[in-house]
Structure 1
Amino acid sequence: MMTNLFSSFDPSSSTPLLYNWLGLFVLMMLITRMSWLIPNRLNYLFVMITNTLHKEFKTLLGSSAHLGSTLFFLSLFILIVFNNFFGLFPYIFTSTSHLVMTLSLAAPIWLSFMLFGWVKNTNHMFAHLVPQSTPGVLMPFMVLIESISNMIRPGTLAVRLTANMIAGHLLMTLLGNQTASVPAILIGILLFVQVLLLLLESAVSIIQAYVFSVLATLYSSEITTH
């Protein structure tokens, strides 16, 4: 029995078996078998999704993007969406509900973009701090505001993904704890609401992975676009 509501996000309270690593291993085996087995409908669906995301990321990056850069953002999307989905299964810890995981993804990406921009496109980075048609009096304030907005980007990326994952899991935990206390006549309604919430969390898992990848793509396009 859980001691408090947030104990479901404590990895030490879960089972000692490494279901997260086992699930990722099985998933990688399922993905790589597409290269040597006869394609089926699931494979066609996966390829269609990746091709659609590739075209969208390529459009966001612009013509000045490096070749193959969309593969990085596709891999990032797949990693996040699978970790989000794994957290919906029983006895699997939701790694994306902790800032340790999300910050480990967001901070290196943001830092690499900043280092590349300031080393390769220094003038463009300085020009980006002051929007066009800014009055001279407001230029120091705009530089300060743009600098702060750039500094908090990894935090906003990480917190957005973590908060959305925690919110949905807390609702599912609250409803799940009410099963033993509600009257028998209401159990069917409660189970129906839990199924709807599970479907909503599945959609949130995809949307948040998409938002994280798109924002990372936009941050990269700001560095490379002149």
Structure 2
Amino acid sequence: REIGFVSCLVQLFFVHNFTAVESGVLMAMALDRYFAICHPLRHSSILSMPVVAALGSLVLLRGVLMVGPACFLLHRKAFCQHRVISHSYCEHMAVVKLVCEDTSVNAAYGLSVALSVIGADLTVIVVSYTMILREILKLSSSNTQLKAFNTCVSHVCVLLTFYVSGLFTFLAHRFGHSIPQHIHILVAHLYMLVPSTLNPIIYGLRTKKLRNKIVVLFQQRGI
């Protein structure tokens, strides 16, 4: 029920840092799909292990460098006597709302970080999938087209669960002043839990062995 201020900032850092990292990973996966479909013969040479490791390191470093200053700015602020956060975890804007001083810099910085991370990653994802779609439509065989679409289905589903819930939470905090507080809390929790819960299910159903086991299990129970 309680958390110390420094511990709260540490939690805030890891929550938002891992969110930025997950967005970066989804962007990298879009690039992987692009090279796999548009340049299949060069896929392993372009996305070699050193390149993948460098890309992963950059994504992690970006999260640290962008989220770190937000925690530093909050640490310098004076807080009122009321220190009750309306969330089960330390969300950036929820903590900012407890500050007694002017928080325009904190809000502006949080907004710029979210827009730059999501904007950059979504741009790469949209461009990658536009190129993929163009390449798929050039294929003569409908069988090959279906196989190429199947390669992207699970990734697109994960993208939708992550970005739709994330954007709603982000926009609701800043512009949805008329939205009841319990809706804010519910959506924030769903944003933290739903993508993590659905990811293994979405990717698991792509595995033929696991899919067959699930079908057999349902048949045994008469479903």
* TM-score interval, normalised by the smaller of the two chains: 0.3 to 0.5
In the superposition, the TM-score normalised over structure 1's length comes to: 0.33
Q: Which has the higher contact order (CA 8 A, sep 6+)?
A: 1
**What TM-score, normalized by structure 2, do the two folds share?**
0.33
